[in-house]
């Protein structure tokens, strides 16, 4: 499989392990706010000045954010965010400042899109989505996520074909009941569950693909793939936060998104496809997002299933 892929990397390629804040003594008034908020107790007052000690700084930049006098500096180990395709004016919305009803309506209005217009997405918009993804929270502030941007309908369709060939092979394997039940010894009930829950729908999708349709990516012109190494604090949760940031900003920019779970599963199972996408062997794919301009209009929010609450 030969596939040209756009790799999106953060402008900061390397952060020294011992990075920590420095303090501009001319601006610092020793108020102590930075010391109180530091989760690792890196900042202390020594001889009437604030100093960063130790090697445990997690670069959360809370000290920077609470300083009213702009006395905290990170000397290039951290950066601010910027967007290319829309105007952004930095502003802190304090707790209680945002109308809750408006926020709920924005989030409820975002839907999974499974029908896209035949209209390309500008590269700058995709880069802005990834930029906003990088502002998501992460366990221990690891921020270990990585991104692949695929911005070409032809490339997306080619990837769909590769994934389709993987499922053709898988369906041939699980069709044999003896193989399914013998696989229990090695991989548990994974193949049994796949045959029971997914075999027929995959078979139907493969039939649609034979007709030249795209049942996997729904005709999307672009993809954003979120992946990471698994040695962080909460790598799966971190990636889901980041990917959901993408879906929310995409909605505000007039774009639609859809999580493609089948694609994530295949990318994690196929070394060949991961290699073609230049995803490191040690990394796991956490989200594959189809991105494009929606070709559907929703007139009211979706309904939800009942849920259970336990009071303790």
What CATH number corresponds to the domain at position 60?
A: 3.30.70.20
Q: Are residues 135 and 219 in the same domain?
A: yes
Q: Are residues 163 and 296 in the same domain?
A: yes
Rounded Cα–Cα distance for residues 53 and 191 (Å):
53
* Average pLDDT value for the chain: 92
- 41 conformational bin, left if phi > 0, alpha if psi -120 to 50, beta if neither: left
Could you give the number of structural domains in the chain? 2
What is the dihedral sign for C-alpha 45, 50, 53, 56? positive
80, part of any domain: no
Summarised one tens digit per residue, pLDDT across range 76-99 is 789 999 999 999 999 999 999 999
Rounded Cα–Cα distance for residues 290 and 116 (Å):
9
Q: Are residues 7 and 27 in the same domain?
A: no
pLDDT over threshold 70, residue 72: yes
- At residue 14, the pLDDT reads 45
CB-neighbour burial class of residue 263 (10 A; exposed 0-12, middle 13-18, buried 19+): buried
| Of the candidate ranges 73-77, 171-175, 181-185, 193-197, the one whose mean pLDDT is the lowest | 181-185
Q: Are residues 212 and 108 in the same domain?
A: yes
Q: Are residues 215 and 246 in the same domain?
A: yes
Report the pLDDT averaged over residues 160-177. 92
- At residue 183, the pLDDT reads 80
Residue with the two structure tokens 């952060």: 15
What is the reported pTM? 0.89
Q: Are residues 55 and 118 in the same domain?
A: no
- At residue 282, the pLDDT reads 95
Q: Are residues 212 and 164 in the same domain?
A: yes
pLDDT over threshold 50, residue 29: yes
CATH number (domain holding residue 239): 3.40.109.10
Summarised one tens digit per residue, pLDDT across range 262-286 is 999 999 999 999 999 999 999 999 9
Q: Are residues 56 and 174 in the same domain?
A: no
Q: CA nearest 287: which of 223, 232, 230, 233?
A: 223
Domain residues for the domain of 254 are: 1-14+91-312
85, part of any domain: no
Rounded Cα–Cα distance for residues 7 and 146 (Å):
9
162, part of any domain: yes
81, part of any domain: no
276, part of any domain: yes
Q: Are residues 164 and 278 in the same domain?
A: yes
């Amino acid at each position: 499989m030969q596939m040209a892929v756009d790799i999106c990397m953060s402008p900061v390629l390397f952060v020294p392990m011992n990075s920590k804040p420095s303090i501009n003594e001319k601006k610092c008034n020793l108020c102590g706010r930075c010391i109180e908020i530091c989760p690792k107790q890196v900042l202390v007052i020594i001889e009437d000045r604030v100093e960063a000690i130790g090697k445990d700084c997690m670069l959360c930049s809370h000290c920077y954010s609470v300083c009213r006098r702009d006395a905290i500096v990170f000397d290039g180990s951290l950066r601010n965010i910027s967007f290319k395709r829309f105007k952004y004016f930095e502003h802190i919305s304090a707790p209680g400042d945002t109308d809750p009803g408006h926020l709920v309506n924005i989030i409820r209005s975002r839907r999974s899109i499974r029908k896209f217009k035949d209209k390309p997405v500008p590269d700058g918009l995709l880069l802005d989505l990834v930029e906003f993804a990088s502002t998501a929270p992460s366990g221990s502030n690891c921020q270990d996520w990585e991104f692949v941007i695929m911005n070409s309908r032809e490339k997306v369709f080619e990837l769909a074909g590769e994934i389709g060939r993987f499922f053709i092979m898988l369906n041939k394997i699980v069709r044999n009941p003896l193989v399914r039940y013998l696989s229990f010894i090695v991989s548990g009930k994974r193949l049994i569950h796949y045959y029971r829950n997914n075999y027929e729908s995959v078979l139907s999708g493969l039939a649609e693909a034979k007709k030249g349709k795209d049942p996997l990516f729904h005709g999307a012109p672009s993809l954003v793939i979120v992946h990471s190494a698994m040695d962080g604090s909460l790598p799966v949760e971190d990636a889901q936060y980041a990917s959901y940031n993408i879906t929310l900003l995409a909605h505000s920019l007039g774009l639609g998104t859809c999580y493609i779970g089948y694609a994530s599963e295949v990318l994690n199972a196929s070394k060949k496809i991961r290699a073609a996408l230049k995803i490191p062997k040690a990394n796991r794919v956490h989200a594959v997002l189809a991105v494009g301009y929606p070709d559907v209009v929703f007139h009211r929010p979706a309904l939800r299933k009942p849920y259970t609450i336990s009071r303790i």
